[in-house]
């Protein structure tokens, strides 16, 4: 995957935000997480999006790193 250097910096910033979101989400009570999952379809809930957004950006950064 080819990404411009300045965009790689931005992707790293996005990754940092996802890591911060994951840390905040981990502090929520199990009851609140359950309520968030129940509010929307589980595949589109906020916890789901944060988890897979973080995974996706980490995979992209790893792919970029392996090409350099």
What is the SS3 assignment for 9-34?
HHHHHHHHHHHHHHHHHCCCCHHHHH
Distances (CA, A) of 5 to 10, 17, 54, 56: 9, 19, 20, 19
pLDDT digits (tens, 9 = 90+) for 53-67: 999 999 999 999 888
**Number of structural domains in the chain:** 1
Closest CA to 22 of 11, 31, 33: 33
Q: What is the pTM of this model?
A: 0.81
Distances (CA, A) of 60 to 7, 14, 16, 46, 64: 12, 11, 14, 21, 6
Look up the domain containing 26 and give its range.
Answer: 5-67
Give me the percent of the chain exceeding a pLDDT of 90. Answer: 72
């Amino acid at each position: 995957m080819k990404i411009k250097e300045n965009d790689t910096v931005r992707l790293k910033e996005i990754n940092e935000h996802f890591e911060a979101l994951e840390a905040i989400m981990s502090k929520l009570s199990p009851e609140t997480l359950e309520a968030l999952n129940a509010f929307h379809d589980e595949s589109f809930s906020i916890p789901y999006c944060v988890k897979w957004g973080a995974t996706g950006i980490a995979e992209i950064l790893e792919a970029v790193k392996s090409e350099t």
